[in-house]
Amino acid sequence: MSTTNQALADWVKQVAELTQPDQIYWCDGSEAEDQKFNQMLLDDGSYKQLNSETHPNCYLHLSDSQDVARVEHLTFICTQKEVDAGPNNHWMDPAAAHDKIDALFAGCMKGRTMYVIPYCMGPIDSPIARCGVEITDSAYVVQNMRLMTRMGQAALSRIEQEGGFVKGLHSTGELDPNRRFIMHFPEELSIKSFGSGYGGNALLGKKCHALRIASYQAKTEGWLAEHMLILGIKTPAGKQHYVAAAFPSACGKTNLAMLIPPEGYLKDGWEISTVGDDICWMRPGEDGRLWAINPEAGFFGVAPGTAKETNPNALAMLYQDTIFTNVAETADGQPWWEGLDDRTPQTDWQGRPYDPANGPAAHPNSRFTVSAKRCPSYSAESESATGVPIDAIIFGGRRASLVPLVTEARSWDHGVLMGATVASETTAAATGAVGVVRRDPMAMKPFCGYHFGDYWGHWVGMKNQANKLPKVFTVNWFRKDEKGQFMWPGFGENMRVLEWIIGRCDNQLGANETAIGLLPSSQDINTKDLGMDLSVLDELLKVDKSAWKDEVTSVEGFLRNYGSRVPGELFRELKEIDDQLS
């Protein structure tokens, strides 16, 4: 297999001359190829076959112990002007970056095969989708990209028709942490990653392309590439809605993406479907709404904590056709991780006999890679070329106090301010002082490929491109009482908040005007069968004016960190909140 795209052919030739592989293999995405690669990984010890009765076609991969997570301090945005990368990114001059990493790539594939992976982020026939090609020397990466993207001949055909594509070059190198870089060149639509085999650093279609490069593409082309889930909600009346939601880590994102409503909602006829759990690309449609696709085809999820009680839909996916990375293994060859059940594993994530003295059996960032089609709540609309129309955008943080259960923005600009200043409080001593507020704008802090001020300006400017923009909300499932107990039950009960949000989108439910936005009355939240004291709900919906004055001061200081590129609309919205608090 080769290509009629001359730019692609030339680039593959240049990479081969630099890296000097023994052979070049073009991936076609076929079932036969999948089986061949699985056998190859079993034969060379990269894979271990798991119990074929309980987990057919499932494999365990154990990575190098120093290569288990994203490495943000070694991740660079390489723009011609340093200011364009912004204070939210590590910057390196593009010419210097190419020289530094190409010196590592020189000859690195000697004795190895160079795999060429054409892929499409999004449905192959979607105008919102974008294509890329990853060159790698890792068959493990090929198999993960097979599940996470639309990969192979169909993607190559689209590249040959369109001409353009994102270039991604990857090598595991020697897996030396001191010889490891992940470089992004937004102005060139290219990525170079060396020295890591971990998903976020090596599956270049994921965070590297679908967020860092795509966010820059989206700015220049007039759309949005966001770190958001996409959830379908159908009312008992049969009306279909879609929401996109951004949550920093440890804020319940995956649980919301695969939410199972309370029994009463299911009996009443509410239906939930999952379009995506992590990334959302939105483009203005001819009807003035934002239309969204999930650019990914699979889930690359964190295993620990995934259990029947916490996320039954996620667990149900993982019994066949799954790659497990850095989990533990039971005596009968089943994957295991903390929080799954009360069994004791036989071996840990480093392949050693399990000993609690060595720490957790599964690495805390151990992963599963699985096709999205295996999810019980999978939506067929995930393959829709037009995408789905977004009715609401939700931003969530983790605040023990201050932030109400749910708040609706007064306007699009106010909603951008809410997203730009969403925050979580540190919850464990391991991360330093407990209760420190850390802001993670739109949950994009590690993933925005350019200056946050310009990014917020691009968000503000969407109101000039679409006249039926989604309503914007913030949620906070994590308020605590004076005893330190969570006040809201969370998980499936979050459906009750979604019901109010949908009611607001349909102009069927009321809201109270407050200084910080529109809030429901406690009677507007369905508490049937919840057993919650309404006084607790009143507290969850209260606005503490004095505390919010302090928050305004904190938010203003945060925005000032990004200098003159912060759009004036955000400061105007903040002043309006401050004035109403006075």
| The one catalytic residue among 58, 108, 251, 448 | 251
Helix 214-221 to helix 452-461 angle, to the nearest 10 degrees?
Answer: 40
Interatomic CA distance for residues 108 and 102, integer angstroms? 10
Annotated binding site for substrate: 70, 198-200, 249, 365-367
What's the CA angle centered on 287, arms 282 and 293, to 5 degrees? 25
Tokens coding 443? 């949950």
The CA radius of gyration of the chain, in Å to the nearest whole number, is: 24
- Residue ranges of E strands in 123-214: 130-136, 150-151, 166-171, 181-185, 190-194
Residue 251 among the catalytic residues:
yes
SS3 225: strand
Phi/psi of residue 44, nearest 5 degrees: -90, 5
Please return the burial class of 259, using the count of CB atoms within 10 Å of its CB with bins 0-12, 13-18 and 19+: buried
Indicate the residue type of 117: I
SS3 159: helix
Annotated binding site for Mn(2+): 207, 227, 278
Annotated binding site: 70, 198-200, 207, 227, 249-255, 278, 365-367, 398, 491-494
Give 399's contacts (C-beta < 8 A, 6+ positions apart). Answer: 423, 424, 425, 437, 476, 478, 479
Tokens coding 462? 């969407």
Annotated binding site for GTP: 250-255, 367, 398, 491-494
Specify which residues 119 forms β-bridges with.
Answer: 132, 151
Phi/psi of residue 290, nearest 5 degrees: -90, 130
Interatomic CA distance for residues 489 and 361, integer angstroms? 29
What is the per-residue DSSP string for 71-134?
A: -GGGEEE--SSHHHH-TTSEE--HHHHHHHHHHHHTTTTTTSEEEEEEEEES-TT-TT-EEEEE
Q: How many Cβ atoms from other residues are within 10 Å of residue 66's Cβ?
A: 12
Tokens coding 382? 């995930």
CA distances from 47 to 34, 40, 325, 338, 411 (A): 14, 9, 9, 21, 51
Helical H segments across 478-533, by residue range: 495-505
SS3 334: coil
SS3 248: coil
Give 7's contacts (C-beta < 8 A, 6+ positions apart). Answer: 163
Active site members? 251
